[in-house]
A and B are shown apart, each in its own frame.
Chain A
Amino acid sequence: MWAPRVSILPITTITRERRLPLPGNVLVKLNQRVAATEVIAEARLPRAHLYFNVARQLKLPPKAAAKAMRVRAGEQVSQNAVLAESEGLFPQQIRSPRPGRVVLASEGEILLEVESVTLPLLAGMPGIVTQVIPRYGAIIQSNGALIQGVFGNGRVDSGLLLNLMEREGEVISASRLDLSMRGAILLAGQCREAEVLRQAAEIPVRGLILSSLAPPLIPLALQMKYPIIVTDGLWPSPMNPLAFKLLTSHARREITLNAQFYDRKEGRRPEIVIPLPVSPEPKENNVESFAPGQKVFILRAPYAGQIGQVIQLLPEAATFPSGLRAAAAEVRLENGEQVLVPLLNMELVD
């Protein structure tokens, strides 16, 4: 059985494709150095239109309506511009109530685009553009530490990492936040109160790294303008020791949070990147099966959030207390205890 994996790496080469959902304009060049919050491409999405039925509005037969049109598709029009005009002694006009762009002008019909939104695509991490994907985006590469999480609120930012955690199970309270943390990214443990998120916004911080976030706080987290990354779970959970050790060892260093949404289909997870001035060999992200010796992260109770090492894979399916039978491995936890874990409930840790 192939093993899903999560990356908690002290040093690696990170290569990420950033791609617009629609075709647009790419704003970066090959080998260009980019910042995490830099817009590397953008697409325009039409949002509001105005429709004019020339024949009906000018009370003309279809042929005359076609003749009455004064604009062509693709044309920009200003407010009050004449869109159609009838002939005769007392000509009647259709004027544009707003500036816009004609997207359709045929057979007596005019459709005017009057509003559009721009979708920006951010680099998501500092790095070098190693490939431009025409009309869609680019591939960006960086070196450093990488920690993947389970939840992100869709924001990106960089800042100095401030550590507020003394142990993995730390629960953050709003009273620990103050103005001296302005512009920093806080390593803050478990979050169970809305006030923490609000106060962080007021300071303001550049980001929050949490080990867990109580689910009722998700809507508020999504409203926050700063990035929030949850490393371990949307249930009470200490930070896994690997992520904790790695993050605390990089306190006071400039880091980036790309709190993109977790997307299983695309394999996108929220990511913490700590740029480091070294050039390791690119690590191949090969798909592997579970095997003895591997380091694993346990996803479900009764050992959820613990890191362990695979001792052996059982030759036959094991029966668990719930009555379910499943392929399983014997895993040694960090405290030395040996436990049985279904393969489905584990992820490989890079």
Chain B
Amino acid sequence: MPVSVIEGESLLAVDIGNVNTRAALFDIVDGEYRFLATACVPSTAMAPWNDVTEGVRQALEVLQQLIEHPLLTPNRQLILPTQEDGSGVDGLVVTASAGRALKTVLVGLLNDVSLQSARHLAESIPGVILDTIHLHDQRRFEKQIDAILALQPDLLLITGGVDGGASRSVLHLVEAAGLGVYLLPEEKRPAILYAGNAALAKEIRESLAPYARFLQIAPNVRPSLDEEDLLPAQHALAELCTTLRRQELRGMEELFQWSGGHMLPTHYAEARLVRFLSQTLGAGRSILAMDLGASTTSLLLGHDGQTFARVLPLGVGEPLPQLLNQIKAEDILRWTHFDLPSHRVMDFAYQKAIYPQTISVTQEELSLELAFAREILRQGMRELRQSYPEVLPPFPVLEMILVSGATLTRLAHFGPALLAVLDAIQPAGLSSVLLDPNGLLPMLGAAAGRNSLIPVHVLESNALINLGTVVSVVASGAYGTPVLKVQLTYENGTEARLDVRHGNLEVIPLPAESTARLKLQPASHVDIGLGRGRGGTFTITGGLMGVIIDARGRPLGLPEDVIRRRELAKKWLWTLGG
């Protein structure tokens, strides 16, 4: 018998990005929720359509052909709820990441206290921090006002003061920001989130509400000096971002009405799901979800039931040339086994920037795209680690790695994507790697708001592609030194044994949905996430690629010699079936 909060409710989820619009249908099958079908079409948030609903309608037209039951009326309205003839659905949830990155200005008292929390908050949305106004800001009062006028931010995040603490200094900073907002033309005024000293909330509302495009007051992100509480403010910020997008993007308001208000920013919805998964994993264990998009990339670390987020304004589309302002062409070329001149890197970046919707047809281009993917993810990991060093060590032990984004999930062979992920993340210990080719994770995060059983059932039903278990060995030393003895005992009692040497990548087949006992015995100087020289026996589940032993070393060292490096890159790719 299904145990459902809303008995038998079918749910349609829609995700609107800058490049793609997806729709997915979830319904009860044999007493449990299942992911039934999905459709993906180019987004219509931009010209020539400038209306997100067109993309949604096109996606639903494809979806209704697949499931052979109507979702739209002849005049293309969503049939809601399900009709007696079986047409339509019972509910809709919407997630959206379409729109420009939000230009953000932070206001807070102290750089390493409230401003740090403001920064953490801002880093959890697709945005760019353009300026910070704070107590030790050397600029004159009027220069702070002029900065607001020149930057014309979309969003002002104001923090400062612990609850019951400083108020005059906070109000002084707010005054400068507020005057800047007041002087901006009405249509250019930013949305404002206040998440500072709770005692000032009323005063802030009275002074800023008449001028802000939207004003949201959230609980203090720093209720005390040594306590950071981002969750309520993140929720308020998610609501504010949704409100902004509803105003900015044509059609969002209509979808908001269709969904009965069940609309969330994509990254917030995914973070909700990661938090849920982290809670189920238990204390001290970590999960990492990455979503490599065309305009933004998110890295979400779930640890002890909390989510730590970094959303970068970088992706494998329009922002690629910006990445080349921070890294060299050689940093990209080191990941590819093709002999390419360095100008090819820049050519590729600009081509993808101008035509972000396009795909890489040749192996050479795909190799470049995956090289860019590695560098974006590496940057994301660096920044996430900078923000949260206490939960993200250099070689993190990640129970589960969830991978989203077309570049990494749409390949016919999964080896190149897995290699890119391992190169970028460099995990330690045992990790399950799962791909989300249909972009279900944010949809499930949003669905949880309507029915908490949907994500539970769907994730248990193999809706994601399980690549297998990766054993990442933390070791340094000479290439070829023995580092790990592996013994895999299959369900039928047969065994596979392997002596793994430093520098190698090995694959042991273990079919999906089968389990096996994996015995690992590292050398005394080697760590597999349990401490140096400590091994163990684990029950693991198979996947499309089986068990992957990554003994290439941490940090992953690439040979200086170009020819040797290319040969090695080719060998690793070949080992993973790429």
Interface residues of A (CB under 8 A from B): 1-2, 4-5, 21-23, 45-51, 103-104, 111, 150-151, 214-216, 233-236, 262, 264-268, 285, 287, 299-302, 304, 319-326, 341-342, 344-345
Contacts and interface: CB of A to CB of B under 8 A. Distances in A.
Nearest to B44: A2
Given A23-B187, A322-B360, A304 B412 contact: no
B347 A235 contact: yes
Contacts of A235: 346-348, 350-351
A262 B354 contact: yes
Contact of A48 (B41, B146, B185, B321): B146
10 contacts: A45-B149, A51-B141, A104-B179, A215-B321, A215-B350, A265-B47, A267-B46, A321-B361, A322-B365, A322-B366
Nearest to B46: A265
A46 B58 CA distance: 44
Contacts of B149: 45-47
B174 interface: no
A45 B149 CA distance: 8
B355 interface: yes
Nearest to A343: B42
Contacts of B48: 4-5, 267, 285, 287
Nearest to B99: A265
Given A45-B149, A344-B357, 14 more contacts: A1-B58, A2-B42, A46-B183, A50-B142, A103-B183, A104-B182, A215-B346, A235-B347, A235-B351, A285-B48, A300-B360, A322-B359, A322-B411, A323-B363
Give the top 7 A-B pairs by smallest Cβ distance, nearest first. A267-B47, A235-B347, A234-B350, A322-B366, A323-B412, A51-B142, A215-B346
B323 to A, nearest CB: 13
Nearest to A51: B142
A300 B183 contact: no
Interface in B105-155: 140-142, 145-146, 149-150
Given A103-B183, A265-B46, A321-B363, A236 B347 contact: yes
Given A50-B142, A319-B412, A321-B361, A304 B187 contact: no
B188 interface: yes
A199 B517 CA distance: 72
Contacts of B47: 264-268
A51 B41 CA distance: 53
Given A300-B360, A301-B361, A323 B416 contact: yes
Given A49-B146, A214-B343, A323 B366 contact: yes
Contacts of A46: 149, 183
B46 A344 contact: no
Contacts of A344: 42, 357-359
B346 A322 contact: no
Contacts of B497: none
Residues of B in contact with A, size category: 35 or more
B413 interface: yes
Contact of A324 (B45, B346, B361, B364): B361
B42 A324 contact: no
Contact of A301 (B141, B346, B362): B362
Interface string B175-211: 0000100110101100000000000000000000000
B574 interface: no
Nearest to A323: B412
Contacts of A21: 188
Nearest to A325: B412
A344 B357 CA distance: 6
A51 to B, nearest CB: 4
A233 B350 contact: yes
A21 to B, nearest CB: 8
Interface in B329-349: 343, 346-349
Given A2-B44, A299-B355, A345 B361 contact: yes
A95 B291 CA distance: 57
- In the complex, which of the residues A45, A215, A319, A325 has the most CB atoms of chain B within 10 Å of its own CB atom? A215
Contacts of A323: 363, 366, 411-413, 416
Contacts of A321: 361-363
Given A49-B142, A301-B362, A22 B179 contact: no
Nearest to A235: B347
Contacts of B450: none
Contact of B42 (A1, A103, A104, A236): A1
Nearest to A322: B366
Nearest to A215: B346
Interface in B508-527: none
Contacts of A45: 149
A214 B183 CA distance: 41
A322 B362 contact: yes
Contacts of B347: 215, 234-236
Nearest to B348: A235
Contacts of A4: 48, 357
B140 A51 contact: yes
A44 B351 CA distance: 36
A103 B146 CA distance: 13
Interface in B296-333: 318, 321
B532 interface: no
A233 B100 CA distance: 24
A2 B43 CA distance: 10
Nearest to B317: A264
A243 to B, nearest CB: 16
A324 B412 contact: yes
- In the complex, which of the residues B42, B150, B188, B350 has the most CB atoms of chain A within 10 Å of its own CB atom? B350
B569 to A, nearest CB: 16
A175 B364 CA distance: 35
B167 to A, nearest CB: 18
Interface string B405-438: 0000011110010000000000000000000000
Given A111-B142, A304-B351, A342 B100 contact: no
Nearest to A49: B142
A162 to B, nearest CB: 27
A148 to B, nearest CB: 12
B145 to A, nearest CB: 6
